[in-house]
Amino acid sequence: MANVAVIGSQWGDEGKGKVVDWLASRADIVVRFQGGHNAGHTLVVGNQTYKLSLVPSGVVRGKTSIIGNGVVVDPWALLGEIESLRKKGVDVAPGMLKVAENCALILPLHGRIDRAREEARGAAKLGTTGRGIGPAYEDKVARRAVRLCDLADRKALEEKLDHLLFHHNALLRGLGAEEVDRAELLAGLVEVAPRILPYADSVWRYLDGERRAGKRILFEGAQGIMLDVDHGTYPYVTSSNTVAGMAAVGSGLGPGAIDYVLGITKAYTTRVGSGPFPSEQDNEIGQILGERGREFGTVTGRKRRCGWFDAVIVRQSARVAGLDGIALTKLDVLDGLAEVKVCVGYTYEGRSYDYLPASMAAQAGVRPVYETFEGWRESTRGARSWADLPATAIKYIRRIEELIGVPVTLLSTSPERDDTILVHDPFAD
């Protein structure tokens, strides 16, 4: 009985929510291991739509859900999400949801700092969501973060706040922004503590026990590999590691706990915010892809940039993250196009590349090299077997497999959870 890690293989927004929800029916436990409430998953179940940011997708399936130590948690956002789910009939009681007691918290000051710095950058802004995820991770690495367990110790909490505000108020003064009021911040944390602490647990210990008992664990990533702080399009990245190795670090289990890595991969490419995007189509094609794919952020509502499938970055993601298979999503968005293209390489300053170089100048300057494929006029939406797919669509899928060197494990053909073609069950490994 394998444990599976699900991660995005592009710049996020690949459709992880639906795939994780579908796989959760085969799992016992679902673990979120990095990121914050800047990334969203949308699940469509019958006539009900669930928009999740922090709570793992498994809660909709009634599975035990874990928020690991690698996640930075805004306690107010988490409680708001729990309440929203309860109103839709989903039980998210302590016991069903466990939050790592050693996870770092996102405080109101982090969002203020995030937005103030973005404003100060002007045209050079990074495109953050402004929700404080980056500053919270900075505090964690700088060893001044307030962690969930600190809410149970008033003395330790006050000492940490003094240290935290000594640093951040100096920064806010430098940015010409209003300083944080210590009493107000402390009062807010004291008020929220008894509401959030019942969810706190030593999740590494819990997961170790469940793994030894033979339970199936599904690790749910946020964002995508090209947003990884080390391996993505730096500095236009998120503040955490999004690769599969983070599933172990961010949950408290060893790397041997991960048996299969599934990369969620959109049949075209999208990106939110600033940063390089070699296959972007800032034209009619991009508009068509955006409208058909309803390409707006789940959390922010921001319009996504759209372009052709980039096999170069997905192949690179496959190597960096050790993908065993991909789940290809949103194939139906390409229905009806006379032709479709795939980026198979780059050129930059007279040189050919089969990977995305690390330097900012090269990433901004590379030009895509395309292969062109005949499109298909038949609809692929709702297909549940290969026999339901047009021959030209199958040819497109097979060429993608060749180019990235990873097989298609799942094919998602609509937002509905059952519109899925299973090629290989990751939990069977």
Q: Hey, which residues are catalytic here?
A: 13, 41
Q: Name the one residue in this structure whose structure tokens are 């790592």.
A: 100
